[in-house]
Amino acid sequence: MPFTLDPEIGAVLGKLFGENPPAKPPVSPSIGRPPIQQLILSQVGDIETRRSNNDAFFGLLNSQRPAVSDVDCQDFYTKASDGHELLCRWFTKKGAKLSGSPAVCYAHGGGMISLRIEYYDSTIKRYVKATGVPFLVIEYRLAPEFKAPIQVTDTYAGLQYLVSHANELGVDPKRIAVMGDSGGGAIAASLAHYIKRNNGPPVSKQILIYPMLDDRTITTPKNLAPFASWDGNDNKTAWTAVLGEDRVGGKDIQPTEAAARMTVEDARGLPPAYIDVGELDLFRDETLEYARKLGQAGVSCELHLFPSVPHGYDAFAPEAEVSKRTFEERFRAIRSL
């Protein structure tokens, strides 16, 4: 029996894009015209259009979400390894007096080529409101202007800030997780490897949300193509931007750059993992394989494969029943820190 799209997810896509939802988001919402008419298709290698599409799409989604008023935000800056000033945004539940609290160091999505912290404010506030666990989100530098491993080392600098300021922030440095979605999931997974290789501050869990793990995933399976909100062309574009045209897909890529390159030996000693991915996601198979290798290495891994949903389903349909179930599983994983 062929794959089918979750009816609630399909209904939301229909409202956003019209009767035949496209694989790509609109450039901007329009008044009196279906958003699909504002669509700009992106060719392989077209970074700027993807950035414009993602900025506008996430801006549209955020404009439709109710404000979260009981979470505070505070901005800090820390230096990256090359001296660059990195923005770190600290999210805490309003009125919370933290002492020995767990915390999450978060890398946002966007394929490592697009988006900024501001587009994730409402998402992060939802996690903090539901769990009471504070989050530090890192404004890492994007590819192709900055190649790997900058995205990982920038996030590592944010993690170091969180650990070194744990006492004043009310955080237990032994109860910190790394977390990210999509391209941010790529960073979080590679960061776990980077910490292991460099004897960095240990983290208690890696929380990977439909993570982008493998630079060799450059084609879209035919049975996923009708549902692909991020397809092989997008992935080829992003990974080429991150690794460089001369390296992407090559034999010398390390798991600190693309985590799917890990061997079972590489996986030994990594922190336990929580991972979720949709059945209709381009990243499904590489995620399942990553979880398999973690298990072979003796690393505890909680894996959720949600049926009939594509990449990013929880972002554009957060109130769908499958999205609510997904968030509850993530909340539980965060509370367990």
> Which backbone phi and psi does 208 adopt, to 5 degrees?
-115, 115
The reply to whether 82 belongs to the active site is no
Going across the sheet that includes 101-107, the strands are 71-79, 85-93, 135-138, 101-107, 171-181, 205-209, 273-278, 301-306
Q: Which of 42, 55, 231, 311 is catalytic?
A: 311
Q: Does the CA dihedral 256-164-82-186 come out positive or negative?
A: positive
Catalytic residue among 281, 308, 314, 323: 281
| 182 catalytic residue (yes or no) | yes
Residue in 42, 114, 122, 182 annotated catalytic: 182
Tokens of 331: 């909340």
CA of 217: how far to CAs of 231, 284, 287, in Å? 9, 11, 11
* Residue 281 annotated among the catalytic residues of the structure: yes
Query: How far lies 109's CA from each of 2, 30, 200, 237, 284, in Å?
Result: 29, 25, 24, 15, 16
Annotate 90-106 with b (16+ C-beta within 10 A) or e (fewer).
bbbbeebebeebbbbbb
What phi, psi does 73 have (nearest 5°)? -125, 140
DSSP character at residue 300:
-
Catalytic residues: 182, 281, 311
